[in-house]
Amino acid sequence: MRQLVRSPKTQLGILLFSIFLTAFVNNPLLKIVFLYLLLHLSAALSDFVFLKIKGIPLSFPSAALVSASIITLVVNPNLPWHQFFVIAVLAIASKNFLRVSGRHIFNPAGFGLFAGSLMFPDAISWWGTSFQQFRVQNLEFIIYFLILLSPGLISIVRMRRHRIILSFLIVYFLLNLISNFKFQISNFFDPTLLFFSLVMLPEPMTTPNRHYQQILFGVFIAFFSVLISSPISNFEADPLITSLLIGNLIFFKFR
């Protein structure tokens, strides 16, 4: 039990739950609780089933639950319940079966969300992270913002993925400053971007291990996400998640 509690995945799951609580306090609807429970139950059960199919001994599904927590905060809560189930199963299926030499190809939560967005219109909304705007005059939102940043303790300190995060954020902001004259200082505190860069981007199983490759990975994701989000690209899928999955594929051999 002590080893489970000290696991970075378990600690990240706890911090993601705290973000969910702030989102629920801000939007206290019963369907939000249903969304959380359904996605986590679907992810855990599908992980058990897939492990059984593969003949692997069952264990606590901490990785599957982390993926479910991420999906909960990003997926559109107004979707029909069966679409939540499909997205969760797709995410865990990618975790178990989209592998080469035992290594994940794609970020599971990102894959489930991307595949879900192709099947179901408006599947991605970032509802659970978009409201935590930093407001100096409002103590409640300062607390929300700090809780939103808390997963950085795991990604930066425990997983040592700070090179990916910093290279992504620096290049992303510089490219936006160059290409968009309306880009403001407040954009540096965009909660959706910070959640993506602190939680989804540095996932250790789907990112490079060497330091310079981590920097290149972060630069690539930033460049590609800005490119496909520009008005001239006419790209409809979520640019952050799409760029992440393409980066996972291109940099797979560097893990």
Tokens 């995060």 -> residue:
165
Which pLDDT does position 181 carry in this prediction?
59
Q: Say if residues 145 and 194 touch (Cβ distance below 8 Å).
A: no
Question: pLDDT at position 254, please?
Answer: 86
What's the pLDDT at 7? 85
For residue 248, the model assigns a pLDDT of: 97
**What pLDDT digit, counting tens, does each position of 169-187 carry?**
999 999 988 877 566 666 7
- Which residues of the chain carry a pLDDT beneath 50? none
Distance CA 216, CA 80 (A): 39
Element (H, E) at 137: none
Buried b (16+ CB within 10 A) or exposed e, 225-250: bbebbeeeeeeeebbbbbbbbbbbee
Predicted TM-score (pTM) above 0.85: yes
Per-residue confidence (pLDDT) for residue 109, from 0 to 100? 98
